[in-house]
Structures are given as structure tokens and as C-alpha cells.
Amino acid sequence: MSKTILVADDEERMRALLRAYLTQEGFTVLTAANGREALQVARQLKPDLIILDVMMPEMDGYTFMRLYRQDQGAPVIMLTAKVEETDNVLGLELGADDYVTKPFSPRILVARVRAVLRRAGLSAPQSGVLRGGDIVLDRGAHTVSVADRPVSLTPSEFELLAAMMSAPGQVLSRGDLLDHVQGIDYEGYERTIDVHIRNLRTKIEPDPRHPRYVETVYGVGYRFAGE
């Protein structure tokens, strides 16, 4: 079944280019010319993934993310013309799963789309239940609970937790985690792992400032330390 992608960008040429390329790759494509329209389309038609430009009229990408993540969980790839790390980190902190800096190769963007969909469980999800301490992760159902309380994770957060819970006590480097999550080795994107880990801790740790489950091994990476 074809996956549906929403492309939100105020540049008509960019929307047309991405629609043509993604359609050629077998996706169904919706478009929106501004953030407000994108939010309406996303809530009504529930696409499988959103490609979201940051700088848009009426509502920018950051505002979109703040509102969209209140009640929707589809993965989001942000497009940004800004190269400052703080801008990209902000998008990740608001719940984006990945970001691509303009200008970019459509082929690379499609690879990112496929990687994000893969870890969102929309193609051949793995089965099995992982347990550690009060945390239960169900790969098949793509759910996580902490002390019997359901926790909503982004696809990136889910895959990071699954990777660490699959190897409890084993230290995984940022590069290892990035390769697992993205499915492609993106040089220079290891900083994204730190942001996703920080977001993950706020959702699963009793005290994120003193993590019980996801431990930092300084100079190396992270490990899952649940009993």
C-alpha cells in the first residue's frame, strides 16, 4: 500500500519538484503552501510522514510542530535553509525525527523518507516484547509503557530505546545509534542522538536529571541499565 507524504513548503517550485520526485518513487503526495494549511491537512488526512519547511508564512515550522505534536504522532522531516546547529536542534527538541538542510539532493531526501518510515514501523515492523525495569516495549504493536502507563514516543525515540533495550548493559556509541536509527550513515549528525536521548529521558525516566534507565558513558555513548 502506498504511503502518503505531506509536503509543506511555501515555494511552489519546491512543492512541484518534491511531488514529482516522490510520486515517481511510489508515494502518494499531499501539499500545503503554509503552516496553517499544513496543520489542517495533517489533522484531517493523517499522512504517514510530513516534509516540513521551517520558514513559511502564516505559521512557521516550529509553531506547526508545537501544535501538531500535542495530538498527532506521524514522523516529520524538517527542511531548513539555516545552517546553525541551534536551529536544527530546536526542530528535534520539538519532536522532528530528522532534518535536511537546503539545498539538498532529492535522492538523499527520499532515502531519509524511507529510513524514517522504516523506523516508524510502517514497513515490515519487527515483533517481540522487550522489558527492563518498569519499561515494556512492544515492537509489533509499536508501544511503550512505563509502570503500566502508556508513553508516546516519536519513531526516532522508539528505535533508540529498542536498540538499547535489545543490548542491556552494552555501551552503544553515538555512531552506532545513528546508524541504527537512520539506516544510513550521516556524517556530522551525531548531535541529533544527544537531542533524541534527552527527549527520551523526559518521557521514561522518573528523574531525567538523574537517569535510571538510559545512562551516559562519557566519551563513548549510551547504554540501557534497566534491571
Report if residue 124 sits inside a domain.
no
Residues 9 and 59 in one domain: yes
Report if residue 22 sits inside a domain.
yes
pTM attached to this predicted model: 0.62
Q: Residue 49: its pLDDT value, please? A: 94
Q: Residue 88: its pLDDT value, please? A: 65
Report if residue 140 sits inside a domain.
yes
Tell me which of 76, 92, 119 is where a domain ends: 119
Q: Is residue 163 very low, low, confident or very high in pLDDT (cuts 50, 70, 90)?
A: confident
Tell me which of 87, 119, 151 is where a domain ends: 119
Tell me which of 91, 119, 147 is where a domain ends: 119
Residues 95 and 8 in one domain: yes
One-letter identity of residue 29: V
Q: Residue 184: its pLDDT value, please? A: 43
Report if residue 48 sits inside a domain.
yes
Residues in the chain: 227
Q: Output the average pLDDT for the chain.
A: 84
Residues 168 and 105 in one domain: no
192-215 confidence digits (pLDDT tens):
788 889 999 999 999 999 999 999
- Can you give the residue range of the structural domain that contains 140? 129-224
Measured distance CA(79)–CA(54) in Å, rounded: 6
Domain count, the chain: 2
7-57 confidence digits (pLDDT tens):
999 999 999 999 998 998 889 999 999 999 999 999 999 999 999 999 898
Check which CATH number belongs to the domain holding 73 and give it: 3.40.50.2300
Residues 20 and 100 in one domain: yes
Residues 66 and 163 in one domain: no
Q: Are 55 and 35 in contact (CB under 8 A)?
A: no
Q: Residue 187: its pLDDT value, please? A: 44
Residue 91 Cα distances to 17, 63, 120, 164, 186, angstroms: 23, 10, 18, 24, 17
- Arithmetic mean of pLDDT, 97-125: 76
Report if residue 56 sits inside a domain.
yes
Residues 81 and 53 in one domain: yes
Report if residue 159 sits inside a domain.
yes
Residues 152 and 90 in one domain: no
| Percentage of the residues of the chain whose pLDDT score is greater than 90 | 36
Least confident of 15-24, 61-70, 82-91, 133-142: 82-91
